[in-house]
Amino acid sequence: MGRILCSTGAIIAKANNRDYTLLAGIMEGLRCDGLEFMMYQSWHDGHETGLIEALAPWDVPVFHMTKQIGQWISEGNLPDALAMFRADCALAKAVGAGMLVLHLWSGQASDQHIDRNIAAYPAVRAIAEEYGLTLTVENVLCNTVDPMTHMKALAERYPDILFTFDTKMAAFHTQLDALYAPENAWLLPRIAHFHVNVYAGGHIDWANMSAKALGKGHIDFGRFFAFVRGMGYAGDFTCEATALNADGSVRFDEMNASLDRIRKETAG
């Protein structure tokens, strides 16, 4: 299978003031093959050059788009959403990414106006293609319906759409088992990327969304990886299991244990 990536969202967060200059020291202690870079809205204000410099030493094959893009689409603010999407694409290209992960719906509005989000897909896809980037839509949390329903609607309307499948997002909606169901075989060839993440809550349990190390939740990763191997998936995996202390320092043993688990499982 592909590379084992670490999400920068798991190591650069509020706890360490989202200080991307810490990446150099952190990456020296991680056993990953590269990064999935998560963009924050606050970094759009003059941080582009600094981000390019901070990421230059590392392989960054995947770029996670600013989450506010989907929120603004949901809220009906398509012009600002597309402007931010274009800015993200320019930065993704500059750091060497080839794949984009998009929250097509997001924020408090979430999927309350899902027709807006579905209708906006061709516009964001066209911009991604201008930059030579592969766009994937993630199965993100919903507060009205559920991600699988929306993914199926997107696939029916745009047959060549690609998805990033997140284990935590699926488990939150009790939809991880849906990945294995024969009636959802339509999804498998459209999965271009996997997010590997733990969930320890119940069905749509907003109070239990905190990130944990692999093995601390109730997802059956043995079954998950066996299925992924069986479906012939050859792409990358991003570990999103956070291991940050309150002071922003990284618990390297815990983070590397999660990365090693993914590597072992994907090796068969």
Q: Which domain range does residue 43 map to?
A: 4-266
Query: 64: which strand partners?
Result: 38, 101
Quote the pLDDT of residue 213: 73
pLDDT level of residue 25 (50, 70, 90 thresholds)? very high
**Whole-angstrom distance, CA of residue 257 vs CA of residue 1:** 19
* Residue range 119-123: mean pLDDT, rounded: 98
Q: From the centroid of its chain, how far is CA 160?
A: 19
pLDDT tens for 154-169 read 999 999 999 999 999 9
* Residue range 106-135: mean pLDDT, rounded: 98
pLDDT tens for 225-266 read 999 999 999 999 999 988 899 999 999 999 999 999 999 999
Dihedral in degrees, nearest 10, Cα atoms 118, 100, 15, 42: -70
96: three-class secondary structure by DSSP: coil
CATH number at residue 37: 3.20.20.150
**Whole-angstrom distance, CA of residue 262 vs CA of residue 44:** 32
Query: 57: which strand partners?
Result: none
- Tell me if the pTM is above 0.95: yes
Identify which of 130, 125, 182 has the alpha carbon closest to the alpha carbon of residue 159: 125
* Residues 109 and 81 sit within 8 Å (Cβ to Cβ): no
265 residue type, one letter: E
pLDDT tens for 46-76 read 999 999 999 999 999 999 999 999 999 999 9
For 119, the token pair is: 């209708």
Domain count, the chain: 1
